[in-house]
Structure 1
């Protein structure tokens, strides 16, 4: 019998499953505790559903509990135990009965595959709902689906019923991404294009990683006038495009590249780092004492900053730490993967659609002949060089929309412009797949066709469960002919993969040249 089993991320061992320790660094006991937490969340959802009693507390427990089990979020066994105890306590208020829970890995390959697909999608959607709730935004239909989804995972279904549930989930996740987009833009303004420096100024600074814009907002306000610069890291880069965040002059730039490079880039860094969401890796001794966590993020031995009941946080410890460390004595040069020192972000749907007439005109005149959406999660898998090579090979008469941390493979490249429009358009974080969908739907409407009829190709990279829920949303919207890599998900059985290929022409990536020729009908 193996010590653990986990196959929820792209880099799972042998593309089959981690059975001794996780490739992410997760230990068997942590994996067991996370599985136990999922079981208790299912019991809580079932008890609340049967009693017809949903509360703000149970809503939050389900959403934050699912988020806690997402890849690279929480490695702190004690924190997971404490959270599980809170879930059990709340469930017992609703029901004293012992609610039986299905073993997640029991059943046929197809049954386990479909159950896992829905569960992992729920984990991804929980991350988005969590961020929206932090800003005071909720959608009852989205929240209720966490109860429904967890209850359905605990039932037997035919393959057709599972597929129907998964497609229903995909549409609900679209509403959740729409909700988070509204929460972010109504709170911080609609993003607009901005150039971001990657070089670090001398003096004290703080690096903030993850996705939570409210945490960044509070940190910027608390560091104002203290002589401390704040630098975004990885998925926090798009924050520079929001007017209510960019107004802070000490939001000085972006530190480093994608999340998987942190062990190298944080080595002996003379500044503290705050992790607001997932993408935390086991730390090296050279910087472990400088890492802080908040929200659902956890790792044994790290300092955690909690919030009050309204989500307000006191970042004094990390601010004082930054002042003690002092930062670099001289300006420090850093660059992207391809050597660039400037990144451009802020091309959300409002910014892109404000130029819709120009884009449509350029397409009609033949100046823009194809649009690629190349984005998603990044990771350490060698095959991810594919995305850099693919973007370098895109024709000069094509645009490249991108989002999430997968863009760090190529976002420092200068690919020029078409009729004044930059060829690389960074649309934001992973949840900003919503922006890409909005743009695609608007173009389809302008040309009186379907999204599948547009000269548009999605070339996606995936790593964790937020990418899973985005993929399910795209499929639920009927989008076909997508390319997915660097490998297909290990949790999808041969039967499920065949269904996706036959129904949606979902394609595994091969080689950049070969895929480009197929997409453009060459050769």
Structure 2
């Protein structure tokens, strides 16, 4: 009888029993053997970081490989064991080159990949701190990957990946040392998000408020999911003039706000809602779907033959578009399938037929004087930042009800895919401004921070003194690095849900509560009352 491996993984919010996936497959659909390969890849990256303990002399290919390898271990990115094994083999090549260089300097090194079980079976608080570091840099690697595709990198960010990996693999590290590295994840992720913001705006322009229909027009079309604007741009270029319409899905929605993407007339609208609904919404879809980042769920038979992956995303049996981004297979399939015979109107989860995006920092700060005057005149009483990852666990309707119940004199800022719980609601206006403003993808938390800092400066106070409340939903590792960034910036009293991370120990949680005032969400009514009185 063949041995069937068992897994351990607790890096995402949906993890089994709010404690960890320990069977033959995770709730995300990741098989145990793939989970083991992801651990092996992480252990190999830790050893590469140990061999490359100085930023000087580390090859460019090593930096790229660390970023790609960490990104591949983010939830819902890479389900393909063969692809992960190829990454491990590449890391081993880099290890050999680094070890050879060190030996040439007279420093003997024995190469041995780190065993991740030493983290998973460590003291609870050590495991918690190392998990926060590891999962944080996995999320940060996703942002660094997108920036790298556009030709942007920071030596300081790259060097920190190595430092953080060494900390995860340091069995002698004390809690205080790990805590310092954990907080540094927030600092370096802030730089990473700033870098990606620059990469996106320099390449595609600053986003502008844009109304996006949920209507799919008749005829051939392609759906693009994920976060990578570079992939979307290449697809738009290759489909121009072919009679194929392009629709965004999930976190690709904010692409509609970028001028250099808006200029393509066949970028038509948004298909479906949040990522976790794809297995239902893609059933029988008469068009191909391209996954560019961490939004992929195991595709069902009703649409599996129409799913393509690219970049860091991989799944066994699916066609993977290589680094050259030749999208001919999707184009041919779109023309062959033909799309819907008539226009088809879709709706958001609340019945809306359109959504609006593009309220990034330039758009919001362009009316900063109007906002400040409205606050001083009592027309705007409160700001809510309600954003983060969406997911399938019960309790996420909290965010819908919270936004519905926000006062008429308040502004709701949102970002990331958590907005799909309410982004089709018509909240009207306040002081001549939309009450609901979608600031973009999860990495656009940088944009939200810039707005908060600008308002604090205008009012001559700190961010924590603003009439601003932050309510986050989390799902995967990018939410971890964003949260750590907010803590690095000293932002307090964040509400987090729908559950607290399984990898946060009681002692670490107590530290976060006492130091930063983090709290779990309760009910929309109770939390609103507390936020408005605070």
TM-score (norm. length: structure 2): 0.96
Distance 1:107 1:276 in 2: 35
Q: Does 1:462 align with 2:474?
A: yes
Select 1:228's aligned residue among 234, 244, 253: 244
| Alignment partner, residue 223 of structure 2 | 207
Partner of 1:63: 67
Superposition pairs of residues 131-146 of structure 1, within 5 angstroms: 131-146=146-161
Pairing 1:22-421 to 2, within 5 Å after superposition: 22-49=26-53, 52-95=56-99, 97-99=110-112, 101=114, 103-155=118-170, 156-307=172-323, 312-421=324-433
Aligned equivalents of 1:29 and 1:62: distance in 2?
Answer: 21
CA distance in 2: counterparts of 1:336 and 1:150, whole angstroms: 41
Deviation of 1:39 after TM superposition, in Å, equals: 0.3
Q: How many residues align?
A: 518
Please give the per-residue CA displacement for 1:248-280, whole angstroms capped at 9, x wherever unaligned: 000000000000000000000000000001110
The 3-state SS of whatever aligns with 1:401 is strand
Closer, same or farther in 2 for the Cα pair 1:10/1:51, shift >3 Å?
closer
CA distance in 2, matches of 1:459, 1:104: 31
Match of 1:503 among 497, 509, 515: 515
Deviations 1:90-130 (A, max 9, x none): 11111162236252213210000000000000000000000
Q: Deviations over 1:339-374 (max 9, x none)?
A: 001110000001000010000011001111100000
Deviation >3 Å, runs of 4+: none
Q: How far is the alpha carbon of 1:52 from its aligned partner?
A: 4.6
- The residue aligned with 1:474 is 486
Task: Kindly indicate whether the alpha-carbon contact (under 8 Å) linking 1:6 and 1:31 is maintained by their aligned counterparts in 2.
Answer: yes
SS at match of 1:232: strand
- What is the aligned partner in structure 2 of residue 14 from structure 1? 17
Aligned mates of 1:105, 1:52 — CA distance in 2: 31
Establish whether residue 432 from structure 1 lines up as the match of residue 444 from structure 2. yes
The structural deviation recorded for 1:157 is 2.2
Report SS of the residue matched to 1:207.
strand
Q: Unpaired segments of 5 or more residues in structure 1? A: none
Distance 1:282 1:275 in 2: 12
Query: What SS does the aligned partner of 2:352 have?
Result: coil
Determine if contact 2:380/2:431 at 8 Å carries over to the other structure.
no
- For the residue of structure 1 that corresponds to 2:309, the secondary structure is strand
8 Å CA contact 2:387–2:418 kept in 1: the answer is: yes
CA distance in 2, matches of 1:224, 1:468: 38
- State TM-score, norm by structure 1: 0.98
Q: 2:95, 2:111 within 8 Å by CA — same for their partners in 1?
A: no
Aligned-partner Cα distance in 1 for 2:397–2:5 = 33
Deviations 1:26-69 (A, max 9, x none): 11101000000000011111112269521110001000000000
Q: Which residue of 1 aligns with 2:107?
A: none
Given that residues 12 and 23 in structure 1 are in contact (C-alpha distance below 8 angstroms), is that contact kept between their aligned partners in structure 2? yes
Q: Aligned with 1:49: secondary structure?
A: coil
Q: 1:67 to 1:100 in 2, by over 3 A?
A: closer
Structure 1, residues 162-200: CA drift from partner, whole Å, max 9, x if none? Answer: 111111121110000000000000000000000000010
CA–CA distance in structure 1, aligned partners of residues 35 and 142 of structure 2:
19
Distance 1:32-1:395 versus aligned 2 partners, 3 A rule = same
C-alpha RMSD of matched pairs (Å): 1.2
